[in-house]
Amino acid sequence: MSDSPNEIVKFDNVGLRYGTDPEVLSDLSFTLHPGSFYFLTGASGAGKTSLLKLLYLMQRPSRGAIRMFGRDMITLPRERLPDFRRRLGVVFQDFRLVQHLSAFDNVALPLRLSGATEGKVMKAVSDMLEWVGLTHRAQAVPATMSGGEQQRVAIARAVIARPRMLIADEPTGNVDPDMALKLLRLFEALNNRVGTTVVVATHDVHLLKKVPESLIMRLQKGRLSDPTGALRFPPRTEPGRVHQPRKSAP
């Protein structure tokens, strides 16, 4: 596979199986472009979470090749993974907040792990909590927060270090429709204003229409279909809808 500045992720004939079970993902070949907004859809059990695990480097594939940020992830030594994980922001379906840390400390984690000074952490986290409307809940621990509040903390944590790619697994699954739309607007703002590549896994087909410029990847029984041409190299240009990769985040 050749490197291209117009691709942030490239899967080539990727398959994934757990142990000796049948493959949960088969023959996945696609490219994600910097600054694009992707929806990953499919019925429950279609393999969305497994595909996201490959994207956020929690799982290695059973076969095939994966390149991210111009590097071959298959042969990448384990000790180099943190370097690449810090370029990603992940919003988990179950939020995965550290339960004994406050909202402030949860959001601050990526910066502190990167060695940012406390002064910078204080300002950046305060700004981010204000952005997601949780300044008044900064010292609350997750157990005392509502699902929507936890979701916003998870989003703030995912974007505080300005990741080059944001990956969200069913981010609207635990919130009401109004909150779902608001969260989606947050992702869109990140995509539009910072140029972050966004991948949102959802089985809610109504959400897909809410982001007009989004591209859709559909998983069916572990295989990808390509309803919008999102997976082509380069993506298909449709009348009135041109795929223009945005400038990526620094």
Partner 1 sequence: MSLPPLPEQSKSQIAKPPARDGETSISGALAAKLLPQTRFGGPIPWVIAILIALVVVSAAGGLSLRNLADSARADLSDAVTIQITEADAARRARLTRAAADVMTEQPLVTSVRVVPEEELIALIEPWLGSAAQSDEVPIPALIDVELSRSVTGADIAELESALEAVVPEARIDAQSDWLRPVYDALSALQYLALALIALVALATAAAVWLAARSAFSNHEDTVEILHLLGATDAQVTRIFQRSVLRDAAFGATIGLFVGVGAVWLLSQQFSALNSGMIGGGALGWQDWVVIALVPVAGVLLALVTGRITIKLALRSML
Sole binder of partner 1 in the list 63, 71, 96, 243 (CB under 8 A): 96
Q: How many CB atoms lie within 10 A of CB 85?
A: 16
Q: Is 25 in the site for partner 1 (CB under 8 A)?
A: no
Q: What single-letter DSSP state applies at residue 78?
A: G
Sole binder of partner 1 in the list 57, 66, 180, 231 (CB under 8 A): 57
Binding to partner 1, residues 189-218 (CB under 8 A): 189-190, 193-194
Sole binder of partner 1 in the list 59, 62, 135, 174 (CB under 8 A): 59
Number of residues lying near partner 1 (CB under 8 A):
52
Dist CA 40 CA 17 (whole Å): 19
Q: Which stretch binds partner 1 (CB under 8 A): 22-30, 36-44, 110-118, 218-226?
A: 110-118
* Closest alpha carbon to 58 in 28, 89, 81, 87: 81
Rg (CA), the chain: 18
Looking at the Cβ atoms of 113 and 205, the one nearer to partner 1 is 113
Pairing assessment for the beta strands 63-68 and 9-16 based on DSSP bridges: antiparallel
Give the nearest distance from C-beta 97 to partner 1 in angstroms.
8
Residue-wise over 151-185: b if at least 16 C-beta within 10 A, else e? bbbbbbbbbbbbbbbbbbbbbbebbeeebbebbbe
Dist CA 24 CA 54 (whole Å): 12
Looking at the Cβ atoms of 36 and 228, the one nearer to partner 1 is 36
Looking at the Cβ atoms of 58 and 205, the one nearer to partner 1 is 58
Give the nearest distance from C-beta 5 to partner 1 in angstroms.
20
Crossing angle between the packed helical segments 118-131 and 103-113, to the nearest 10 degrees: 130
Dist CA 86 CA 161 (whole Å): 8
Looking at the Cβ atoms of 160 and 231, the one nearer to partner 1 is 160
Q: Is 145 in the site for partner 1 (CB under 8 A)?
A: no
Q: Is 177 in the site for partner 1 (CB under 8 A)?
A: no
List residues binding partner 1 (CB under 8 A): 56-60, 78-79, 81-87, 90, 96-98, 100-101, 105, 109-116, 120, 123-124, 127-128, 130-133, 152, 157, 159, 161-162, 179, 182, 185-186, 189-190, 193-194, 250
